[in-house]
């Protein structure tokens, strides 16, 4: 199985590497392994669904 770093996955998923590390820390990335300070993620892992909600605009309040 081929593993990619959080930076490589971030580029693949078009999100920040920090966001990838947060998702891994929350246990939302299937198969992710932490080796020291590195997160190793299987190359075939799908991006988890986004659970965050957007902010309301001032006009909507």
pLDDT digits (tens, 9 = 90+) for 23-57: 999 999 999 999 999 999 999 999 998 776 777 77
pTM greater than 0.85: no
Predicted confidence at residue 18, as pLDDT, reads 97
How are beta strands 38-42 and 33-35 bridged, if at all?
antiparallel
Evaluate whether 31 touches 45 at the Cβ level (below 8 Å).
yes
Whole-number pLDDT of residue 50: 79
Write down the pLDDT at residue 55: 73
Chain position carrying tokens 């080796």: 35
């Amino acid at each position: 199985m081929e593993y990619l770093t959080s930076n490589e996955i971030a580029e693949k998923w078009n999100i920040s590497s920090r966001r990838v590390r947060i998702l891994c820390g929350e246990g939302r990335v299937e198969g992710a392994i932490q080796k020291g300070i590195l997160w190793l993620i299987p190359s075939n892992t799908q991006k988890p669904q986004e659970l965050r909600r957007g902010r309301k605009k001032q006009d909507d309040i």
